[in-house]
Amino acid sequence: MTFTRTFTFAAAGVTLALGLGAAGAADAQTKMKFTLDWAFQGPTSAFLLAEQKGYYKAEGIDITIDAGQGSAGALQRVATGAYEMGFADVNALIEYNAKNPDGQVKAVMMAYDAAPMGLYALKSSGIKSPKDMEGKKLGAPVFDASFKLFPAYAAKVGIDKSKVTFINLQPPLREPSLKNGSVDFISGHYFSSMLDLEKIGVAMSDVQVFSYAEAGMDFYGNAIVASPKFMKENPAAVKGVVKATIKAWKEIVANPELGVKAAKTRDGLVDEALEMKRLKMSLERNILTKYVKDNGFGGVDMARLQRSSDAVASAIGLEKAPKAADLFEEGYLPAKAERMLP
C-alpha cells in the first residue's frame, strides 16, 4: 500500500513537472533591446504601439525600446551589441558599413521609402535659391543625415560648398539658432525641423524649404537594422520584430490617432497635436509613396538602393560604395500581401 501511494505521488509529480515545462516553453521570450534614432514621436510610434498592444510578445519577443540620439549613435549601439536591433537612417548605414567591413549591420525593413532630408531658411534671410546659400552659415549637428549629405546636394544643384560656413549646433539649438539669426539656414528632417520651428513661433509660410528629394536626390530614409550576430542566432526574432512592427504601422496608417496615443503613453510630455502633424507629414511625404502602394511596405528596389549607396559614397568621400546586398536583407519580410498598406 505504501509503495502504491509513493508511486502515485511520484507519477503526479512527473506529470506536473512536464506540464510546467511545456508552459514554460510556450511562454519563452527572446529578450532584446531596440534603439530608436531619436525621441518618442509620431513617426516612430509604430514601435511603441506594437509593444503596448503585445504584438512583439505574441511573436515571442520580450522587447525594451529606448530613445536615441541620432542614427549614427543608433548604429553604434547595434554594431557593438549593446542593442540587438534599432531604427536608423540607411545613408548613415552606408557610411558605417563602408568604414567597418568586418562588422556590418544590415537593414531588414525599410520605413521611409522617401528620405525626409532638406534645408530650411527664413524667407527674410534672402535665400531664395540654393545658389544663395554661398557665403552663408549652415547650422546643424555634425551627425545630422541632411548635413552629412549636403556635399551631394551641393554638387547636384551647383553650390560651391567651400563657400558655405558650417556651424556645429546641439540639436535643441538648431531651430532657435535659425530664428534668432545665428545661422542663415539649417539642415534636418522635414517633419522635425518644420514643426520644431512652428513650435517656437515661426510660421511655416515664413520658411523657404529646399527638399533633397525635390532636387532629384533619390535617397532612402530610415530602416529597421539588426546586428549580424543577432540575425544569425535569432532569425525568428528578427522576423517577429518586422512582422509585429508592420502590423502596427498598418493600424496607424488607417488611424494615425493610435500612433499619437502610443507616443503619449510612453512619454507623458508629448504634445499630441504636434505629433499628429508630424506623423501625418511622415506618412504623406515619406511612407505612402507610389512604390510602397504598388509593392507593399518594408521592401526596397535594390537597383535604387545601389544608386543611393554610390551617391552617398561619392558625397562623403568613401573609397568604395557598399553593395546593396550588403546593406539590405529582404528575407525577414513577410509576404507582399501582408505588407500592403490600407
Q: pLDDT tens string for the chain (342 positions)?
A: 343 444 343 444 444 344 444 333 335 799 999 999 989 999 999 999 999 999 999 999 999 999 998 888 999 999 999 999 999 999 999 999 999 888 789 999 999 999 999 999 999 999 999 999 999 999 999 888 899 899 989 999 999 999 999 999 999 999 999 999 999 999 999 999 999 999 999 999 999 999 999 998 889 999 999 999 999 999 999 999 999 999 999 999 999 999 999 999 999 999 999 999 999 999 999 999 999 999 999 999 999 999 999 989 988 889 999 999 999 999 999 999 999 998
Residue 10, domain member (yes or no): no
Q: Determine contact, residues 117/131, Cβ cutoff 8 Å.
A: no
Residues 230 and 327 in one domain: yes
Residue 58, domain member (yes or no): yes
99 CB burial (10 A radius; 0-12, 13-18, 19+): exposed
**Widest pairwise Cα distance in the chain:** 101
Residue 277, domain member (yes or no): yes
Where does a domain end: 174, 194, 211? 211
Residues 225 and 108 in one domain: yes
List the beta bridge partners of residue 191.
none
Where does a domain end: 186, 211, 236? 211
Give CA 12 to chain center in angstroms: 52
Task: Show the domain range for 315.
Answer: 29-113+219-339
Residue 131, domain member (yes or no): yes
With CA atoms as reference, report the closest residue to 146 among 168, 164, 119, 120.
119
Q: What are the tens digits of pLDDT across the range 178-204?
A: 999 999 999 999 999 999 999 999 999
332 CB burial (10 A radius; 0-12, 13-18, 19+): buried
Residues 225 and 316 in one domain: yes
* Count of the separate structural domains present in the chain: 2
Residue 68, domain member (yes or no): yes
- C-alpha distances (whole Å) from 314 to each of 59, 95, 167, 317 are 40, 11, 23, 5
Amino acid (one-letter) located at 181: G
- How many C-beta atoms surround the C-beta of residue 242 within 10 A? 21
Contacts of 72 (CB under 8 A, 6+ apart): 92, 96, 143
CATH number of 139's domain = 3.40.190.10
Where does a domain end: 149, 183, 211? 211
**Overall pTM surpassing 0.95 (yes/no):** no
Residues 136 and 285 in one domain: no
Contacts of 172 (CB under 8 A, 6+ apart): none
- C-alpha distances (whole Å) from 197 to each of 77, 187, 194, 267 are 30, 12, 5, 21
Residues 90 and 228 in one domain: yes
Residues 127 and 227 in one domain: no
Residues 203 and 234 in one domain: no
Residues 126 and 249 in one domain: no
Residue 20, domain member (yes or no): no
Residues 83 and 130 in one domain: no
Residues 205 and 90 in one domain: no
Residue 144, domain member (yes or no): yes
Phi (first) and psi of residue 74, to 5 degrees:
-65, -40
The predicted pLDDT at position 267 comes to: 96
Residues 234 and 298 in one domain: yes
| CA-based torsion, 234, 80, 249, 213: positive or negative | negative
Residue 23, domain member (yes or no): no
The predicted pLDDT at position 144 comes to: 87
Residues 328 and 244 in one domain: yes
